[in-house]
With several copies, the nearest count.
Chain A
Amino acid sequence: MSEALLAALTVFVLAILCGFAVISKVPATLHTPLMSGANSIHGIVLVGSMVIAASAHDPLSQILSFVAVAFATMNVVGGYVVTDRMLQMFRRKPAAAPAEKAEGKG
């Protein structure tokens, strides 16, 4: 097991723990937006797709990486936009005392 792999593993474990901790008692209202938000995040795979595309020389690789890039970008762009649309829902009236209350619950 190489030094690098061990480091990667450490990062992996910590990120998992972050993931567990980060979702606390969420109001059900937010389940779908949260899912959608998390969905956009794994669009980070675009970074990987770009990397392989950069070093793609034979046609097969080029096709694969092209598809990968397109897929990943769709995930990123679409994901964030649709999440934002869902969340625009939560805008509220200017002076809204009860809203604060509702937030408290959130």
Chain B
Amino acid sequence: MDSLDIVVRLAWLVGAAGFVIGLMRMNSPATARNGNLLSAAGMAIAIGGTAVLLAARGDAGVTAWIIILAGIALGGGLGLYTARTVKMTAMPQLVSLFNAVGGGAAALIAIDDYIRLASAQTLLPNSIPLEVSVPTVLDIVIGGITFTGSLIASGKLMGVIPGKPIKVPGGQLVTVALAAVVAVAAIYLWLGNVSVPILFVIIAASLTFGVTMVLPIGGADMPVVISLLNSFTGTAVAMAGFVLGNDVLIIAGALVGASGAILTKLMADAMNRSVINIMIGGFGGGEGTVAAGGPEGGSVRSLGVDDAAIQLAYAQNVIIVPGYGLAVAQAQHAVRELADLLEQRGVNVSYAIHPVAGRMPGHMNVLLAEANVPYPQLREMDDINPEFERADVALVVGANDVTNPAARRAGTPVSGMPILDVDHARSIIVIKRSMGRGYAGIDNELYVNPKTGMLFADAKQGLADLVAAVKAL
């Protein structure tokens, strides 16, 4: 091992360390951005080192360099462009897309490696040791599933593919069949047989599996699915590392595989679902905005814009509770305008952010931050809940389940989900279009609370009206 080797290997190690420390720092808002940059620096070092190695070794011919540079130019361009231009709320589907290509790349490495070995060995049995064939197959299977799975997930979030669960004809049967095929083929290769056609059977089966796995899952559960597939890609990359005998791939891959798994669990917990239950499709995807009469036992009080405006303008403390409806209506700027107006009048305004308000974790923060709402005004649930008691008005904008007191009782679809204690506020104003239900598809007792006034309107429109009305005071 000459000194160049050593230097490059050390560079890879430094890169890997960068990833770990970067992730650590991304655990808290204060250091998160710096953590991401750190991780990026690690990546740069690792890739730079590789380039130096290839150049110095000179085993990369002109064509090879053209391939590499062209590939980098193309991929880099696409990545940069899409990442720069995507709308805040469309980010999850983009992440899913990047995840797909990552998994794809990992699979391609194993495929290419296997084909080469196979041709070199001119198909002698046992010519490919288990040490190689096992990670190769795993890489291809996991990478393949991730590739198509992530594409579907992305498509669902983009709306290219309908978000609602799509039953695959044959359903479970197909899945089981595919799994069986993969298993048999894998064992065949592990027994020492060398066969490219069989490899392609595995590839095809894995790709199909990815599709059938994700199609039946509802759009609302996609964040969790994407996170899971992200963890898969990590594992696939680690396998690629074993195939190539490259430590940095193994480290980074395993790191993402493991942390991704934890993260997936955290996400699922945050919407009190279990990952399993999501993968086999629970109540996910019921975007039920079914217009429904007021919940039995309790009359709904509807409120005029002017009354609402007066309540807000003369309040001491107002807490705004944004929900999915705000996102749908793209009303983030409107709500900020109203908040600013109130603050000018000396009302102090803060936003109560429920961890799973909207349809992806952090959805509300992303939205409101896009409208430049100052971070300090965004308050985590546990942080603000005690303050509802002191709030004169809680203004609920397009939020439903996350405010439903039913969650405190057992036996409802939202039971056990921590909620915002909106009902502790002195008075409550709810802006939504109708008595329609939320994601969980149940009525909200908050709306029949005597303290509650309903302002029926599209969030954006309703807020605009309020701004006008407050100005008019």
Please determine whether A23 and B102 come into contact, CB atoms closer than 8 angstroms.
no
B342 proximal to A (CB < 8 A): no
Q: Mark B59-91, 1 if CB is under 8 A from A, else 0.
A: 110011001101110111011101110101001
A46 to chain B, nearest CB (A): 6
Bound Cα distance from A73 to B44, whole angstroms: 11
Please determine whether A72 and B80 come into contact, CB atoms closer than 8 angstroms.
no
The interface residues of chain B lying within 8 Å CB-to-CB of A52 are: 109, 112-113, 244
A84 to chain B, nearest CB (A): 6
Which residue in A42, A55, A85 is a CB contact (below 8 Å) of B256? A42
A100 to chain B, nearest CB (A): 8
Please determine whether B67 and A19 come into contact, CB atoms closer than 8 angstroms.
no
Secondary structure of the B side of the interface?
Answer: helix
The interface residues of chain A lying within 8 Å CB-to-CB of B451 are: none
Which residue in B19, B72, B80, B92 is a CB contact (below 8 Å) of A32? B92
Please determine whether A10 and B99 come into contact, CB atoms closer than 8 angstroms.
no
B347 proximal to A (CB < 8 A): no
Determine, out of B313-321, B357-365, B464-472, the stretch whose residues face the partner at the interface: B357-365
Please determine whether A54 and B64 come into contact, CB atoms closer than 8 angstroms.
yes
* Least CB separation from A27: chain B residue: B380
Bound Cα distance from A9 to B17, whole angstroms: 12
A31 to chain B, nearest CB (A): 4
Number of interface residues of A (CB under 8 A): 96
Bound Cα distance from A36 to B10, whole angstroms: 26
Please determine whether B91 and A10 come into contact, CB atoms closer than 8 angstroms.
no
Which residues, 66 to 87 on A, are CB-close (under 8 Å) to B? 66-87
Bound Cα distance from A8 to B246, whole angstroms: 8
Q: What interface size band does chain B fall in?
A: 35 or more
Whether A73 touches B72, Cβ cut-off 8 Å, given contacts A29-B362, A34-B263, A105-B380, is yes
B7 to chain A, nearest CB (A): 10
Please determine whether B383 and A35 come into contact, CB atoms closer than 8 angstroms.
no
The interface residues of chain B lying within 8 Å CB-to-CB of A16 are: 254-255, 257-258
In this complex, the member of B33, B95, B111 whose beta carbon has the largest number of chain A beta carbons within 10 angstroms is B95
Please determine whether B24 and A8 come into contact, CB atoms closer than 8 angstroms.
no
Secondary structure of the A side of the interface?
Answer: helix
B168 proximal to A (CB < 8 A): no
The interface residues of chain A lying within 8 Å CB-to-CB of B92 are: 32
Please determine whether B32 and A90 come into contact, CB atoms closer than 8 angstroms.
yes
The interface residues of chain B lying within 8 Å CB-to-CB of A8 are: 241-242, 245, 247, 250
Please determine whether B80 and A41 come into contact, CB atoms closer than 8 angstroms.
no
Q: Mark B1-43, 1 if CB is under 8 A from A, else 0.
A: 1010010011011011101111110111110110111011001
* Least CB separation from B101: chain A residue: A71
Please determine whether A51 and B71 come into contact, CB atoms closer than 8 angstroms.
no
Bound Cα distance from A79 to B103, whole angstroms: 13
Bound Cα distance from A29 to B231, whole angstroms: 19
Bound Cα distance from A52 to B252, whole angstroms: 18
* Least CB separation from A73: chain B residue: B75
In this complex, the member of A60, A62, A82, A89 whose beta carbon has the largest number of chain B beta carbons within 10 angstroms is A89
B366 proximal to A (CB < 8 A): yes
Which residues, 270 to 320 on B, are CB-close (under 8 Å) to A? 270
Determine, out of B47-55, B171-179, B408-416, B430-438, the stretch whose residues face the partner at the interface: B47-55
Whether A15 touches B254, Cβ cut-off 8 Å, given contacts A38-B234, A67-B108, is yes
Bound Cα distance from A75 to B78, whole angstroms: 10
The interface residues of chain B lying within 8 Å CB-to-CB of A70 are: 70-72, 74-75, 78, 101
The interface residues of chain B lying within 8 Å CB-to-CB of A105 are: 380, 382-383
Which residues, 365 to 384 on B, are CB-close (under 8 Å) to A? 365-366, 369-370, 374-380, 382-383
Please determine whether B27 and A99 come into contact, CB atoms closer than 8 angstroms.
no
B226 proximal to A (CB < 8 A): yes
The interface residues of chain A lying within 8 Å CB-to-CB of B22 are: 37, 41
Contact surface of A with B, Cβ cutoff 8 Å: 1-6, 8-24, 26-56, 60-62, 64-93, 96-99, 101-103, 105-106
A-B contact pairs, 22 of them (CB 8 A): A10-B13, A12-B251, A20-B262, A30-B26, A33-B362, A35-B230, A35-B267, A44-B252, A46-B47, A49-B108, A50-B50, A52-B244, A66-B71, A73-B71, A75-B98, A76-B47, A76-B76, A86-B362, A102-B29, A102-B375, A102-B379, A106-B28
Q: A34-B27, A66-B67, A89-B369 are in contact. List 6 more A-B contacts (CB 8 A).
A: A35-B230, A38-B23, A48-B109, A49-B105, A69-B71, A73-B74
Closest 5 A-B residue pairs measured CB to CB? A19-B258, A69-B71, A78-B79, A28-B355, A73-B75
Contact surface of B with A, Cβ cutoff 8 Å: 1, 3, 6, 9-10, 12-13, 15-17, 19-24, 26-30, 32-33, 35-37, 39-40, 43, 46-47, 50-51, 54, 57, 59-60, 63-64, 67-68, 70-72, 74-76, 78-80, 82-84, 86, 88, 91-92, 94-95, 97-99, 101-102, 104-106, 108-109, 111-113, 115-116, 131, 223, 226-227, 230-231, 233-234, 237-238, 240-242, 244-263, 266-267, 270, 353, 355-356, 360-363, 365-366, 369-370, 374-380, 382-383
